[in-house]
Amino acid sequence: MKLIIGGAFQGKKEYVKEHFGIREKDITDGAEADFDTIFHCVCMTHFHEWVKRGLQEDWDFEELETKLLRENPHLILITNELGYGVVPMEAFDRKYRELTGRLCTKIASESELVVRVICGIGTVIKDA
């Protein structure tokens, strides 16, 4: 797996297309994807929105990183970093932010490559 992280509108998707040869038609929008989609898509953008939808629909995220590694080991995940800034007042928003961060931490530990993109420039955090 590969995990691409960064702030909103920092060029993460363009970075993936350029560096990994991914075409637009091969990129799934996590905001619109159901639970099973992540296990067979090539690349998912807006992973954080997929997590939000999952919380709203009560999906089971237990051992997600292990299932992804087993069922879709070549997946490229693109997600916004949510842990900076003001802590949300709403309990759901705090739970969503924390779960996304914890899932990304677990996924990063299983990923062969983790890149942080800022202003369209990727910095490799992990290259196993």
pLDDT score for 16? 98
Comparing 37-46, 48-57, 79-88, 96-105, which segment has the lowest mean pLDDT?
A: 79-88
pLDDT score for 127? 96
User: How many domains does one find in the chain?
Assistant: 1
pLDDT score for 17? 98
Percent of residues, the chain, with pLDDT higher than 70: 100
Long-range contacts of 56-59 (CB under 8 A, 24+ apart): 59/35
d(CA 79, CA 115): 11
Q: Which domain holds residue 41?
A: 2-127
With 0.85 as the threshold, say if the pTM is over it: yes
Can you give the CATH number for the domain in which 50 is found?
3.40.50.300
